[in-house]
A and B are shown apart, each in its own frame.
Chain A
Amino acid sequence: MNSLLFNVYNHDTNNMAAVIEDSWQQRHATRQTLATALHAFLPASSVLITKEDLRPFECDGLAVYRELPMLAAMPSTLDEVMRVMAIANAQNVKVVARGSGTGLSGGATPLADGVLLSMAKFSRIEKIDALARTAVVGPGVRNQLISEAVAHLGLYYAPDPSSQIACSIGGNVAENAGGVHCLKYGLTVHNILKIGVVLIDGEAVTIGSDALDSPGYDLLALMTGSEGMLGITTEVTVKLTPKPQLARVVMASFDNVEKAGEAVAAVIGAGIIPAGLEMMDKLAIHAVEDFVRAGYDMDAAAILLCESDGTPEEVEEEIAKMEAVMAAAGATACRVSNSEAERLKFWSGRKAAFPAVGRISPDYYCIDGSIPRKSLAHVLRRTDELSAKYGLRCANVFHAGDGNLHPLILFDANIPGDLEKTEAFAAELLELCIEVGGTITGEHGVGIEKINQMCSQFSDAEREAFFSVKRAFDPNMLLNPGKAIPSLNRCAEYGRMRVSGGQMPHADIPRF
């Protein structure tokens, strides 16, 4: 996150509006040429060129960054994607791919001089193979739809990001999406077998296979999480997992956050890999309880949701162990779901955490740091201190089992200065994650949001290696350029800005 957020909020000054209008006009000729070329094979309704039509694409889930693309193309066949890419490549035009636009790091934020390639029309499930436990789906298929389509076979698609109702599988591949069950069932990279990809020059390749491995380098792993910078995913073969016969969740209350953190370590230490292990602090508990009435303990400083799944025998054995661990760790209360309805009710609060926080604050900003679990107490203490320092509340929800933090900073964009404070708070938190041996993004991606912190996490040589990977696929740097990997110049500037300890000077200078 950087000072751009500030600028975007202030876009509606007359001066800024005039600048944007100028650049829109300047691109008129290129836009027309490109549109004409695309109309040769795409229906008029699939090539969007007016501001009104392009408005829905101006941002992804990180809505503070907005930009109208030069043009949007909505192909519906592989051949059309290949032709769009070949044309863009020939005319040296940048391309940003987009699925459902739910990403939280600005990975699908359009470029004013680029094509926005919407993959939304690839929304068909092409094939389900029950015996092989695989499904072949278009990149525009919503994550949850896959599980719904195979439920009758006793199977499901395991990764379940919170946005699973809306997010697309193509976007999941681009971001290597996780979810609340990934400690046990893995991330996107662990749950896909094969992808169809169109490269920048319009050529189609298959990466991965229906077997468990492929000859050569592991390009499937490299593509997963590459934020749309190496190729366009046009088809995904996902692995399906047998639906556990039973799942039950233990909900434990703690009178201080550190004890809850210790309980997380104790569960893992007892040799248990829970299906889900989530933590929420008091502010988050109160926000969700007021919103969805999940029956959370309002007196608790923190609660843990710890899920066991498997056969009834396995679950019974594991739940007993979990309860014993929670009690030994000093839980003040412990409840176990006794029905599927009750299990879903316990989870409803966690799943509604973001909208619930949205109800108690005009704006909130979600962070996605990942840390070694042992640093949890330290990071929480520092978060409290930072919260006091900046005078901003912070609600904490964590994928505690895998050390992935989602602190939500509460602010009001209409209060002058709140936004800059939020930026500085977030930047300090991410630097803290790096300091304790963690990472600036566990599952949301770098995009444009965390690009500055990439300067802290990686050396010049490492970032240059990333660029050389990109060039191996995209020599002219046309695919989603400017995202995920910061340039040397950018990092040099960020280094100078950080001198004043997270307080960013010159917040009015555009920086990307």
Chain B
Amino acid sequence: MESFIQSVQKTVRAAAGSNTPLAIHGGNTKAFYGGAVVGDALDMRAYCGIIAYEPRELVLTVRAGTTLAEIDAVMQQEQQMLAFEPPQFSGGATIGGTVAAGLSGPRRPYAGAVRDFVLGARVVNGVGEDLRFGGRVIKNVAGYDVSRLMTGALGTLGILTDLSFKVLPKPAAEATLQFAFDEGTAIRCFNEWSGKPLPISGASWHNGIATLRLSGAAAGVAAAREKLGGDMLDPDTALVFWRGLRDHQQAFFQTTSTIWRISLPSTTAPILQNMPQLIEWGGALRWVAGETDAKTLRETIAAAGGHVTLFRGHAKGAGVFHPLGGKLAEIHRNLKAAFDPHHILNRGRLDNF
């Protein structure tokens, strides 16, 4: 497997020398996400397998090409999980792609995001150097947190090779409750409940129905269920619901080719009510379906303290991500130049970076 890293280093050096961009990919399940990328394909799927998994350490180290399905299967035996609930979309998603995209699932506001669980990353940078940042221990403040910087950078700062994560035990019990709420009530209740010591692990709203997931010790989940009321979903239906939300298999995501991802302060009052909408993350993430003017949408959401991503859609001319200006853009350019001076890694994927 070390020979794979060496071949990647060689490829990168050659690409840097000839100014040939490289398009890094794993399972290509998130090919729709981000800007159009140009260059020679660099397939990471052969670099796979679990390097170290020690359940009692709560630490997992894997090669970037390992599929989430394989990781799930191994962790299932130990009753543990990647607590950020990464989306798998159409299946075949790799852990490298998951970290590069930085996308987290329904549990994100309650357990944390991908970046919160990344402990260390080994990367090949844009000049072909093999570098290790962070480590395999839960607490580590030696050096700048480059492994978290790599998370969500869409492969523009380095080619992820080995990744270490903090993992968590699966909750002993789960229950899913539904409430007939209008949008405003759902947002208010999600936020109020989150301020109370309740074991919430998911909160979503769509079409007049609020869906709440509780996870934790059996007694704690039972007590919270008692307190909150609502209608309980049977476990199988609940599983399908949360998986469908995580992987965007629910009908809402299937009806149109344009999906906007809107990240907002969770308490933001109902917004864009004239468009089909699905809320999750307790109000902090709002998916909006359909064509609309990107510029107007970005201005509306920025005024509310959030940002908009064209998550799925073909009209990428106006940029996929919220544009960065001034000093922040300068720092981004400097960081890009620091890790990838020849601008060959996933050129165009993260807008200009």
Q: Which residues of A contact B (CB under 8 A)?
A: 129-133, 153-155, 175-176, 178, 182-183, 186-187, 189-190, 199, 203, 205, 207, 209-219, 221-222, 224-226, 230, 242-245, 265-266, 268-269, 271-273, 310-314, 316-318, 370-374, 399, 402-404, 437-446, 450, 454, 457-459, 461-463, 465-466, 468-473, 484-485
Let me know if A190 and B263 touch, CB within 8 A: no
Q: Is the CB of A454 within 8 A of B339?
A: no
Since A211-B284, A314-B199 are in contact, a sample of 18 more A-B pairs with Cβ atoms closer than 8 Å, ordered by chain A residue number, is: A131-B267, A213-B263, A217-B157, A217-B353, A222-B146, A242-B198, A245-B197, A271-B172, A312-B223, A313-B220, A370-B135, A372-B54, A403-B139, A439-B139, A442-B137, A443-B141, A465-B125, A468-B339
For residue B223, which residues in chain A have a CB less than 8 angstroms away from its CB? 311-314
CA distance A512 to B28 in the complex (A): 49
**A131, A314, A370: the one within 8 Å of B138 (CB):** A370
Judge whether B321 and A211 touch: CB under 8 Å.
no
The 9 A-B residue pairs with the shortest CB-CB distance, nearest first, are A313-B219, A314-B220, A472-B334, A221-B148, A468-B338, A442-B139, A271-B169, A210-B265, A215-B322
| B141 near A214: Cβ-Cβ < 8 Å | no
B216 CB-CB contact with A under 8 Å: yes
Interface size bracket, B side: 35 or more
Query: A131 — which chain B residues lie within 8 A by C-beta?
Result: 188, 191-192, 195, 267
Mark the stretch among B10-18, B41-49, B302-310 that contacts chain A: B302-310
**Contacting pair A472 B328 (CB below 8 A):** no
Partner of A372, one of B102, B137, B265, B326: B137
The answer to whether B139 and A190 touch across the interface, beta carbons within 8 angstroms, is no
Some 30 contacts from A to B, beta carbons below 8 A apart, are: A178-B139, A205-B326, A209-B306, A210-B265, A212-B281, A217-B353, A218-B102, A218-B148, A222-B144, A271-B79, A310-B199, A313-B220, A313-B222, A317-B220, A370-B140, A372-B137, A374-B57, A402-B137, A402-B139, A404-B139, A437-B136, A439-B141, A457-B142, A458-B142, A458-B143, A463-B143, A468-B338, A469-B146, A472-B331, A472-B335
Contact of B109 among A212, A226, A230 (CB under 8 A): A212
Q: Does chain A have a CB within 8 A of B180?
A: no
- Check A222–B149 contact: CB distance below 8 A: yes
Residues of B within 8 A of A437 (CB): 135-137
Minimum C-beta distance from A231 to chain B (A): 9
Find out whether the CB atom of B59 lies under 8 angstroms from the CB atom of A469. Answer: no
A150 to chain B, nearest CB (A): 10
* Interface presence of B206 (CB below 8 A): no
Distance A30 CA – B196 CA, assembled complex (angstroms) = 55
Q: How far is the CB of A393 from chain B (nearest CB, A)?
A: 25
The answer on a CB contact under 8 Å between A216 and B324 is: yes
| A405 CB → nearest B CB, Å | 10
B72 within 8 A of A: no
Bound-complex Cα distance A225 to B152 (A): 19
For residue B291, CB closer than 8 A to chain A, the reply is: no
Chain B residues contacting A182 (CB-CB under 8 Å) are 139
Instruction: Give the CA-CA distance A287 to B353 in the complex, in Å.
Output: 56
Which of A131, A199, A265 has the most chain B CB atoms closer than 10 A to its own CB? A131
Residues of chain A contacted by B74 (CB below 8 angstroms): none
Question: In the complex, A454 Cα to B281 Cα: how many Å?
Answer: 39
Q: Check A465 against B131 for contact (C-beta < 8 Å).
A: yes
Find chain B residues with CB under 8 A from A374 CB: 54, 56-57
Decide if A212 touches B199 in the complex (CB within 8 Å): no
Instruction: For residue B204, give the distance in angstroms from its CB to the closest CB of chain A.
Output: 15
